[in-house]
Amino acid sequence: MIQRAAFLDTPALVPGITRFWLIRHALVEQNARSRLYGSLDVPLCPESLVSQVPMYESLAARLPREAVWIVTPLSRTQHTARAIQQAGYPQVPWEIEPALIEQSMGDYHGLRHHELPDRLSMTPHPFWPMAAAEVPPDGESMEQVCVRVAEAMDRLADQHDGRDIVAVSHGGTIRAATAHALGISADTSLRLSVQNLSLTILERHRGVWRVVTLNETPGA
């Protein structure tokens, strides 16, 4: 696992490099965690919002100024972005990007975790509720998420060429973006750990992607 033990100095921005600062949203509330919530709009854990203020402060100090900010349509990413800015980052507007939303579990949304296996057609992934190729009824597979996110990352990199982009998103989305940068399969991407409030930095150099850091945890 690629992980830096502490927040190091911000990499210098070089012309021709577009850098994504991908942050997984904060922990959601306990009742939501007991079920498959996927792309449902569930609230953050209020206790964690208070206890993890030092992590927000660390992120606020770590992130580059003059960055483009992006969130998803789900409130948990927007509330996380707001908490980071309130912890010391300048108040800036953000863009809402639907293509960076979490995997849709379709008809499986709201199921308790133990209710899912009997409905699946494939053996679940060891580190994800289902196999990367499994398509939930009226939902999408992780393979489909990887295609969606890869297209979005390339589009956003073209749109904001040479800029820093702070994107508050989701665990599945960040795995998919990292898979795109590394050229690995959706199944392999599900072996990557992406913790709440962790930071993953991806860069595109004249069309070529690389991973700078993965699952960097504030305050670690």
- pTM greater than 0.85 (yes/no): yes
Domains and CATH numbers, the chain: 17-216 (3.40.50.1240)
Cα separation, 112 vs 8, in Å, equals 39
Residue-level pLDDT at 212: 97
Q: Decide: 150 and 3 in contact? Cβ < 8 Å.
A: no
Residue 111: what are its φ and ψ, rounded to 5°?
A: -70, 145
d(CA 41, CA 65): 29
Which among 14, 12, 16 has a CA at the least distance from the CA of 160? 16
What is the amino acid identity at position 19? Answer: R
pLDDT-flagged residues of the chain (< 70):
1-15, 220
- Helices 142-159 and 171-182 pack at an angle, to 10 degrees, of 70
At residue 12, the pLDDT reads 55
**What CA–CA distances, in Å, run from 57 to 86, 167, 195?**
9, 17, 17
Name, in order, each residue with C-beta under 8 angstroms of 47's C-beta and a sequence gap of 6 or more.
none
Q: Cα(66)–Cα(163) distance, rounded to whole angstroms?
A: 8
d(CA 26, CA 28): 6
Residue 5 confidence (pLDDT): 37
Per-residue pLDDT, 130: 96
Q: Please give the backbone phi and psi of residue 213, each rounded to the nearest 5 degrees, phi first.
A: -155, 150
Say what the pLDDT of residue 218 is. 85
Q: What is the pLDDT of residue 15?
A: 65
